[in-house]
A and B are shown apart, each in its own frame.
Chain A
Amino acid sequence: MLNILKNILVILIMLSISACGSYLKKTAEQPTEQGGSTGVFSQQIKPADTTSAAVLALIKKARSDAMAGKMDKAMLRLERAVRIEPANAAVWHYMAKLFLQQENYKQAAGYAAKSSSLARSNRTLIIDNWRIIAHARYRQGNLKAAQKAQDKINTLQQQ
């Protein structure tokens, strides 16, 4: 009985993830460098207008590094960016996605939570961060917590 419930939960999560049309499906099933890196710097989450030229330049470089499959370099550029703008929620979000790509789920969830703590009223960003957390928890085998994150996404989307 428990197993059946578990399977239903997994299917529900996967369905909801694909329904959102997010990068998550791509990263879960096709963790290719090219596909994944486009997802990391998706058009959906853009740095705030107040982002400095220095941080924008570093994000741009990180994007080309990620496109070339140089994930460590991309991460290093983003680390430089958060040192310059610690409260830039978008940068923390990109880092979370990079970790997700690298299948470092614990860090992906941590960075996504950090991004949300700085996102203030940016609902799109907060929802996308919850998607990362849901996916990371699902990949870690913590289905109950993944479902909780999914519920949070649903609530936020309804608001």
Chain B
Amino acid sequence: MVPWRYLFLTLILVFIGYGVYLDLRVQQQFDGKRWALPAKVYARPLELYTGLRLSENNLLRELKMLGFRNMDDLKHPGSYYVDGNEIVLTTRSFQFWDEKTNSSVIKISFDNNRISELYNFSQDKDIDVMRLEPVIIGGIYPAHKEDRLLVKFDEVPELLKSAITIVEDRNFYLHHGLDYKGIARAMWANLRAGKTVQGGSTLTQQLVKNFFLSNTRSLWRKANEAVMALLVEWHYDKQDIFEAYLNEIYLGQDKARAIHGFGLASHFYFDRALDDLELHQIVMLVALVKGPSYYSPRRYPQRLLKRRNLILDMLVEFGVVTQSEATAAKRKPLGIIISKPTSVSSHPAFLDLVKRQLKTFYREKDLASEGLQIFTTLDPLIQQQAERIIERKTRQLDRQQGLNGRLQAATIITNTTNSEVLALVGDSKPKQSGFNRALDAIRPVGSLIKPAIYLTALEVGQGYTPLTLIDDKVLHLKGPAGDVWSPRNYDKRTHGLVPFYQALSHSYNLATVHLGLKVGFENIQQTLQAMGIKRSIPAYPSMLLGAVNLSPYEVTQMYHSLASGGFNMPLSAIREVLALDGSPLKRFPLKVEQTLNIDSVMMINTILNNVTIEGTAKRMAAAFPADFVAAGKTGTTDDLRDSWFAGFTGQHLMVSWLGVDENKPTGLTGASGALKIWIDIMKNIPTQPIVFNSTDNVEYIAIDPDTNKHIDASCSNAVFLGVPRDALPESQSRCH
């Protein structure tokens, strides 16, 4: 008798203990933060103002990315229509870092690919400047990749709440977690049908199942579900439970991203806020609860339409809507939008950079759970063009060189004004995530190093100017181990005494090595440091010809100091971070430091401009109109393993790299590979030319390339260079 009593007592204790454990779990989940909310990552907002160079097509592309719909009426935010050379749109309200903008009806007039007028119909006045909401380019998700947009119980339309209770749990406000009548009714219906046709789960049970339990069908899971449902109802009121249900329930899938809750589902399927939905749309969402995959609106629209209409009948039966309202709603199609680009990551390489820059300030766990809103610098219009062109051009060059799909690419585009990263591609298939070559492919840079050597020469005070003659002759250097290094020019020739500017324009190796040895490794290392290179640079002669390994990102940083006119500005991918509730958390202001002599940089830039006219990148001159003024440098490494081009206009800097991951020859030089990609992308970006102005110390003058003398700017053979005022050449009256 005694052992039975002990056994019974033990069982009671185990039962109570397990109950306490379940109770703790329930309370922990409900009292703590209920959901891990992914960070939302936004592109830059498109700034609109009169005079902006923007084609109608590009604005329409941006609106498409924002999920705007082309409609005749502009009742709903996120709609637009085109009328001749005007686009009229209703913006959505948006919380920026500095202000909340309200939804307005805006007219944008175009003239010759520029905005000629901006008018706000809602306020009946012209607009000087405005921002469109930014495109969402991805998120930083927890491991399960759940996404949701939280809604408050009071903000949810009554119709939705009524429809959910009628369809899913009619006695919700009467039971204590379990609906015995509902279970009996379901059992009877199932028995009669000979299979499971009705479920008896209450909303509370469904919530518990989603929160704590798996989908497996077992008695043990059902028992746990029942106990936990009772515990939830014991601790929390109905409104709290209903609100949790509205936010937790799974309602669809967007690639790897799971759509949870009615708030997000409303935006995902209809691009509208929940309180902006019409009857047929609300009912469609309720219809999805039973099985978002089985009733997928994209794969099985007829199946879902049938269920939606069945629910509309139920709403009539329960007096929630009238028969005529239901009939009108039944006539409407599902009306779901083509999915907005909100997949886990539209631009994986750029998102990778954002995460790396954020890591200094936020823990990875917080990024995936605190619902932060991250405003980045990405220009989606430029990024799209870069991705499209790189994919196409790399495929073409790969075929041409017989590389069997091994040719890889990386490209970074920045704004020369503020060092913001506008586009970043790390793979020849840009949507592919994985090895991010833009950040992590550390490769020899070849002749891209040369501007740093020539810049050093101008800065060290040895009297060099762009017109100084330097020797392009054979040399043999003995290494410490007795080995001899005999560099050669790419054309295998020597050129004797050549002007400084021509040696750089034509990328002569021998002249560069002679010059580099004269100015000294230490000085060159200091210049590279001033150009933003943090990596230690070796001090041996082959460094002068680019035996220096850098990533495309580092090269971009280096050339940015030239493109910005002598200022070092760390490349930046993030502008601001907002908290979940829209309150400002952190800003990432631009950092500016003058690290190079402005006059020397101006002189180097005029030479790099010459590179694009008659030097190694002269292909560029043929590709653009005469008023396109850019500067740049090609880079090619031994056996044609790496093809580089770094070039900038007055507004954009772009660094492009092509190569094979296994470091094998590609058969491409900087000019025959990376430069082609640079040109194709730049042709598709509205950009500003470089404007060279004389300074107090340097004059921007025309030079006769044959005599090195100052000539009239109208001479057809004139080369334009910055030359120190105290070393100006003689003038020559006639053109050669």
Which residues of A come within 8 Å of B, CB atoms?
Answer: 52-58, 72-73, 75-77, 79-80, 82-84, 86-87, 106-107, 110-111, 113-114, 117, 120
Contacts and interface: CB of A to CB of B under 8 A. Distances in A.
Contact of A54 (B50, B97, B651): B50
Nearest to B651: A86
Interface stretch (B176-184, B338-346, B528-536, B588-596): B588-596
Nearest to A55: B129
Given A54-B50, A54-B129, A84-B49, A110 B592 contact: yes
B52 to A, nearest CB: 8
Nearest to B377: A83
B635 interface: no
Given A114-B594, A120-B693, A72 B587 contact: yes
Interface of B: 47, 49-52, 97-99, 128-129, 415-418, 565-567, 576, 584, 587, 589-594, 598, 650-651, 688, 691, 693
Nearest to B598: A117
A77 B98 contact: yes
B129 A75 contact: no
Contacts of B594: 110, 113-114, 117
Given A83-B47, A111-B592, A54 B98 contact: no
B415 A79 contact: no
Contacts of A83: 47, 415, 417-418
Given A75-B589, A114-B592, A114-B594, A82 B128 contact: no
A53 B417 CA distance: 20
A110 B596 CA distance: 12
A56 to B, nearest CB: 7
Nearest to B589: A75
30 contacts: A52-B49, A52-B50, A54-B51, A54-B128, A57-B128, A58-B129, A72-B98, A72-B584, A72-B587, A73-B98, A73-B99, A75-B587, A76-B97, A76-B98, A76-B587, A77-B98, A79-B590, A82-B417, A83-B47, A84-B47, A84-B49, A84-B129, A86-B415, A107-B591, A110-B567, A110-B592, A110-B593, A113-B567, A114-B592, A114-B594
B119 to A, nearest CB: 13
B49 A53 contact: yes
Given A72-B98, A113-B594, A117-B594, 18 more contacts: A52-B51, A53-B49, A54-B47, A54-B51, A55-B129, A56-B128, A57-B129, A75-B587, A79-B589, A80-B129, A82-B418, A83-B47, A83-B417, A84-B52, A84-B129, A110-B591, A114-B567, A117-B567
A152 to B, nearest CB: 11
A49 B50 CA distance: 16
Nearest to B420: A83
B47 A80 contact: yes
Nearest to B49: A54
Contacts of B650: 86
A89 to B, nearest CB: 12
A114 B688 CA distance: 19
A114 B601 CA distance: 13
